[in-house]
Amino acid sequence: MQHLAREGVTCPQPVADQQGRTLLELAGRPAAITTFLPGVWPRSVRSEHCRPLGRAMARLHLAGRSYTPERANSLGPDAWAGLLQSCRPAAQTAFPGLAAELDTALAATLPAWPGHGQTPALPRGQIHADLFPDNVFFLNHDLSGLIDFYFACTDFLAYDIAICLNAWCFEQSGAFNITFARQIMLGYEEVRPLETAERNAMPVLARGAALRFLLTRLYDWLNTPDGALVTPKDPMDYVRRLRFHMATETASGYGF
């Protein structure tokens, strides 16, 4: 967050103590204090939110070029089969047929993932990896900043776009909003034009992003104890999104 702020990306800043330390301990747990970021997240996504989102995401990617440490994506494709396996017995009871559907999706997605087998890798860098609407703040109709870098990691830059397609571009009915997707891409390419390979890889990246959030939501749904302070999210929302991506073969299906 300190690096991004120095590069012009608006986000909360960690507050240091008198010895310059930003990570301390509170009640036996690691803790940090951050500055306040003004704004609110959009409870109802509209088209005018999407283009600024694309611009902010691209600025984050460019700002990350001068950040040399790397953090592996612990929830990337290498983790998906293990997540499914850990959920399989309970999933077959709670969601009949879901495990078999996810097996099919993984079998189609993992061999096609950029950098696997004969598929070329894509430009890599620092990504947010969780740019859902509740992590993007707006103030007076302008994007005021980004929060929650818990999942930030080093991965394909275009994968961040794929996550946003899943998080921002589906209506409550489950329909894909191609206008929202087009606005995200237009905003992004105002700042950082995509390479052809990144554009071509968008269907498999979007499929993988849907798998990642479906599997983690499925795990939480099946393993969160009663009375926990967090409410698990229904994984079936992402089943419908995954089905859309499985049926989408080219980037034109996303409006770009």
Q: Could you report the per-residue pLDDT of 108-120, keeping only the tens digit for each?
A: 999 999 988 767 7
Q: Find all residues with CB under 8 Å of 224, minimum gap 6, and list them.
A: 230, 232
Cβ pair 4, 147 in contact under 8 A: no
What architecture is domain 44-254? Answer: Alpha-Beta Complex (3.90)
Cβ pair 215, 83 in contact under 8 A: yes
pLDDT at 196 over 90: yes
In whole angstroms, give the CA distance from residue 104 to residue 38.
44
Q: Would you list the DSSP string of 94-115? A: HSTTHHHHHHHHHHHHGGGSTT
Residue-wise pLDDT for 54-89, tens only, equals: 999 999 999 999 999 999 999 999 999 999 999 999
Query: What letters, b where the CB count within 10 A reaches 16 and e where it falls short, cover 52-65?
Result: bbbbbbbbbbbbbe
Question: What kind and span of H or E run contains 199?
Answer: helix 196-200
Domain range summary for the chain, segments of one domain joined by +: 44-254
Tell whether pTM > 0.85.
yes
